[in-house]
């Protein structure tokens, strides 16, 4: 039996951190801030959640601290890209690099270890029905974000700010305020994603433990066209492809081939979605965008 509940559970566990980070990325995208610092904010969230849970004994304080720390960290992007009008891509990369160095440094100074901090008494998040409460929160956040963007005045203004900041400004909507809001919320969501990874998926911190999940979240934002439901589907696709990749090793496929599964699926999805879009656009073509 290839498709069973274990596979689904494994896919959903892989999905949660990516989904949380990607939702944050999608909000930024809609507000016109291209956020590729998801990986770094997530990694900072991992460390903060583990450190706080360790010193206070409460994983919930760890979650809270992770959200706050990552939100504070996201200010680098907010101030740099919105107030100072710097390049968001450069800032995002800088944040990712800084986070790797910063967390490795803190791991050595705070815990005096290198590589991995792991202790049997480190308190992780409780499981409800096989998942952490953060996993349910991630699903709820998809619905909230979808409703907010399509129905609520904040969402409409956020989209307005992203699509036509000048027009929004003439209508009395402050683009800076909405962009700041979107970046800070993405920080909170990435902090939660990090806490989910370090106190939910596993209960430990190791250097660079996000291992590219933030980048996958960036791709999920692009693939899902920055729409919450689209992002959910893209993240689900990744989760399933990864979990299926593990299984494919079981039937004798080499690891190097199964590793490629999520990326092959992404390429295929990207290709299909653009091909369809282009076909739809063909009748009115002739005017370059």
Partner 1 sequence: MHRRHRRALRLAAATAILATAATACNAAAKNDTSASGKSGSGTSFTLVTPDAVGQNEFLKLAVTGIKEAAKAHDGTQKVYESTDTASQQQNVQAAVEAKPDVIVLVGFEFADLVAQQAKAHPKQRFLMIDACTTKTFANVGCAVFREHEGVYLAGAEAGLLSKSGKVGAVDVLDTPQFRRYSDPFAAGAEQVAAKTQTATRFVGGQSPFDDSARAKEQANSLLAKGTDQLMAAAAAGNYGVFEAAKAKGAFAYGVDVNQCPSAPGTVVDNVIKRTDVAVQKGIDAVLGGKAGTTVSYGLKEGGISLTGLEAGVDSSQCVIARHKDVLEKVKALRDQIVAGKLKVDDPAAS
- b/e 134-163 (16+ beta carbons within 10 angstroms → b): bbebbeebbeebbebbeeeeebebbbbbbe
Beta pairing class for 116-117 and 205-206: antiparallel
Min dist. Cβ of residue 288 to partner 1 (A) = 10
x/- mask, partner 1, residues 144-163, rule CB under 8 A, reads -------------------x
Min dist. Cβ of residue 143 to partner 1 (A) = 25
Residue 116 sits in the site that holds partner 1 (CB under 8 A): yes
Min dist. Cβ of residue 252 to partner 1 (A) = 10
Q: How many Å apart are CA 187 and CA 40, to the nearest integer?
A: 10
Residue 32 sits in the site that holds partner 1 (CB under 8 A): yes
Q: Which of 212, 222, 162 is nearest to 43 (CA)?
A: 212
Q: How many CA atoms lie within 13 A of 88 on its CB side?
A: 20
91 touches 80 (CB < 8 A)? yes
Nearer to partner 1, 144 or 259 (CB): 259
Residue 100 sits in the site that holds partner 1 (CB under 8 A): yes
Binding residues among 188-217 for partner 1 as defined by CB under 8 A: 197, 201-204, 206-209, 211-212, 215
Min dist. Cβ of residue 73 to partner 1 (A) = 16
Q: How many Å apart are CA 67 and CA 190, to the nearest integer?
A: 7
* Six token digits for residue 233: 């589907």
Residue 218 sits in the site that holds partner 1 (CB under 8 A): yes
Q: How many CA atoms lie within 13 A of 115 on its CB side?
A: 0
Contacts with partner 1, residue ranges (CB under 8 A):
6, 10, 13-14, 32, 34, 36, 88-89, 92-93, 96-97, 100-101, 104-105, 108, 112-116, 118-120, 163-165, 197, 201-204, 206-209, 211-212, 215, 218, 222, 242-243, 246-247, 249-250, 254-256, 258-259, 289
């Amino acid at each position: 039996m290839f498709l069973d509940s274990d596979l689904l559970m494994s896919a959903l566990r892989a999905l949660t951190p990516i989904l949380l980070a990607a939702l944050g990325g999608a909000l930024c995208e809609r507000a016109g801030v291209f956020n590729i610092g998801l990986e770094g904010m997530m990694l900072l969230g991992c460390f903060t959640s583990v450190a706080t849970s360790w010193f206070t004994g409460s994983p919930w304080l760890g979650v809270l601290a992770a959200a706050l720390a990552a939100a504070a960290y996201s200010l680098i992007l907010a101030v740099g890209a919105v107030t100072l009008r710097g390049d968001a891509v450069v800032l995002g990369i800088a944040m990712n690099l800084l986070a790797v160095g910063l967390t490795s440094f803190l791991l050595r100074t705070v815990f005096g270890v290198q590589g991995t901090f792991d202790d049997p008494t480190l308190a992780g998040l409780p499981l409800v029905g096989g998942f952490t409460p953060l996993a349910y929160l991630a699903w709820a956040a998809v619905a909230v974000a979808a409703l907010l963007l399509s129905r609520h005045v904040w969402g409409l203004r956020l989209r307005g700010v992203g699509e036509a900041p000048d027009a929004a400004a003439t209508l009395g909507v402050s683009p800076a305020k909405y962009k700041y809001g979107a970046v800070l919320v993405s920080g909170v969501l990435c902090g939660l994603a990090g806490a989910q990874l370090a106190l939910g998926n596993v209960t430990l911190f190791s250097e660079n433990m996000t291992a590219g999940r933030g980048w996958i979240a960036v791709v999920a934002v692009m693939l899902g066209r920055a729409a919450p439901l689209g992002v959910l589907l893209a993240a689900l696709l990744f989760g399933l492809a990864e979990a299926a990749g593990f299984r494919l090793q079981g039937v004798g496929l080499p690891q190097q081939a199964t590793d490629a599964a999520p990326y092959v699926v992404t390429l295929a999805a990207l290709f299909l979605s653009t091909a369809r879009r282009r076909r739809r656009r063909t009748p009115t073509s002739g005017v370059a965008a």
